[in-house]
Structure 1
């Protein structure tokens, strides 16, 4: 080999060494001091991407690889879902008098493998392992996130290498804190997570109770949707393996993806039900049906297998799901559908929480109480407003049922009027025509007359029934008008007055009450015509102290209380009044007429 060859090789090696020195010097060294109890390591990190996922710490420490470490940027610290493993490097030196015990914690939970390698000034290597694929009971620090204990020594340099690898999303953010600060932070975290999951549990139990009470599947879909959300979040927060499977990791890997499929399936069904997608937008309704089917497929496949491909499939489904649900809420709002307001506000609150978390993880926003739990707060906001939307749906269901009852009553009224009413009229007319025949005996004519009378009475009764079951006559003013119309049919040869006074309530939806008032009134008029021998009748209707008061007074012969007979129909009046919780007062004496007052409560006790 020629001297020029060795000269060229020497120049390359020299340039490599100089570049390595410049690169490592450019990265800030973290100096620990007694005044700070917590450090965000982002400004001190350098990053290397291992696309093979096979490099060992010895290979990483080689000059060739160390040269490839780059100062951390927000893009590099948020690789997301990736097939690579990622290494971060930070150099620390403790300036305190006696050194300290520190806790190194990954800010982002849910990472499968997090390996720590500590290289001291003597080039000794100490390794530790954490991550969701390490059973909870085998972790050095029983933490829902990857955490390691580090002992620093005064003015002794230590270089930390942390390797991240995960099938799900990866973020390379780290913080270093004293043991006491870590314990305080963990105590606060448990408190806030307890509030979050406790509130969610209350919402689930409340809506499950409503489902059992009214049997509306919207509430069941809500409960199942929230259940999927909660199990997913428990895996993300590292709580699932801590409380359910502390000695195993297989279940949490599958549960993470199954929970997403679960909430996609029932979230789509919940949205269809609560926003009436089939009514307002059949196209979006079909889209949500596709999302529900895909969610069910994720649920099934995730129970069998897991991996990056499944995560990418989930990401592919979630985006159109979010767009479809938001668009459906906007369409519902445009149609003035009240629950759509709560739904849209709920989604916006969750999106705000998601954005804040993304900005915090990317380093744009600092890590504090607000940014740490904004996502959970957004989820709680969403679930609470969804519950409000369901509560508003109770009124919607009530209105729907009333409309259904009204439609049914209208159909029955039309059928009675068209079929039975016309048939009775035909019977009456036919019997009258037959009576005109000279061949009939007097007995036969008398019986035909009875048929005609019965048919007419039945026709009148059918008309009354048709009138009362028609939902257009549910107002009290319609009842009063009906009473006015029937009065001259009874009091044909009598002088009468019909007066109303005071504020008359608008509606009385209870059909039984309106019908009994009408029948009582007809019976009173019938008794006046049949028994009173009166010439004048005064009728007054008024509303007083939440009671409907009907008063009928005549100037007839009257009667003494001891002379009352059942044949007068007074007992029947009392029975009808008692049936609707009304009070009827009958006052009379011989020669001074009769006054009957009916007092009906207009509000249920």
Structure 2
């Protein structure tokens, strides 16, 4: 009796003749008279067969109205006629309002016997769902029915407690996932919410009546037939969508994603086909046949899917694989034990077979929830790293802006110094030209040419097309060869290959260019050399530049005249470079510059110490 009421075993339909069926009563021995045997039409109750009819005599022996409840097991449709009054019960009849929890659980058909009323009760039984059947004919009084329900509930309180916990866990999980989706707006939470929701609906369809509830399937019981396989197939579709989004398969595994898309389309198409099939034929046995082949196909595809993911050993993948494994084991145990006990008739002593897939689902949900939590943690860590990178970028931008502002200030200072000093010179020379016309005009011309050259150097150095060190050295080569050839000086210029691999800030390139230009100018004007050498080389840490001549030289220990040499030293100091000038009278001159590459990103300090013109 317990197995029938709890839907724990899919009882096969009784195929023996029901010409005579024993009728048992509970709580009615002194109040009614009833036949001990219900007589039938001789047919057996089977799935898809015609209805079976039973009849028996019933009499109320009291002066009070009596309620009698007819219970036949898990029979889909029970129709009863009593003295012209029709009533019904069964698994697939909607529960009428006002029915007690015990009536809903036992799926009874109620009779109302007036005082002294007697007559024949005619029953018609019909079965369409193979997961049920006729298990005997029982008549209960109200008190006896409630007592039977209380006894059943007490006897199996552990199981009922588990079912309530299971359903409560699913409801809590639904609320939690919905809350997370509202906060995070990630698709995997929406798919996960739908997946858990469909699983909860499936088990509600199985246990709503057994738990004495009247939520959905008690009011629309045919949904248990129409959606029996849909609620099993559709979770596979939602599962693939969840995994697809959770593991970011479209971006990380595009080859696997193409297969998953086809599987999803197939599952959706089969879901529509399955629903259309049951609506058109109302044949659960035919539906189950198709479902068996589809389930086998899904098993093979799932195996291939798991093997593919096993090749990519990632933490998130293990959450999915672990959840899939435990729910697969639970379903497998449920199917095996059902087959052995129901179809082979071997009693293993296992009463609650659906507990195995339910435990598997609980563990799967815990794995998926832990996986979502771990993914959220990874997302938060990545968010923090992104914020740190953004902060570093903002700092770098601030440094760059400061550097650019410094460059602007330096350019403005250079322009002010060069133009101002040169215009002052031109003004003085103009006065001189009033007295000495030839000398004054010549010096005005030289000052104007010098100013044009300095302006050209500044404009060239800030042009973005001249950012490379290679372009700078090409300009130095052009400047040097022009002067050397004009003075008839033999020269040798060597620049190491791959010099373009070096990266120097713009202000460093300007300093290097002006130091080399000043050294070359001094060589041409004052050295009286016949041969000059310019060398540029570098290694991992230092760039070396040198300008050497065989001219008359000078006393390097004496104070320098003019601003040329002090200006070179000042520019080297601003770069943190080492400038060395070696010379002796009659022994030529060598100017060497060593620029440490690891210091080339240092902020130029010339904004604090303006460069002399």
TM-score, L = length of structure 2: 0.46
Answer with 1 or 2: which has the greater Rg: 2
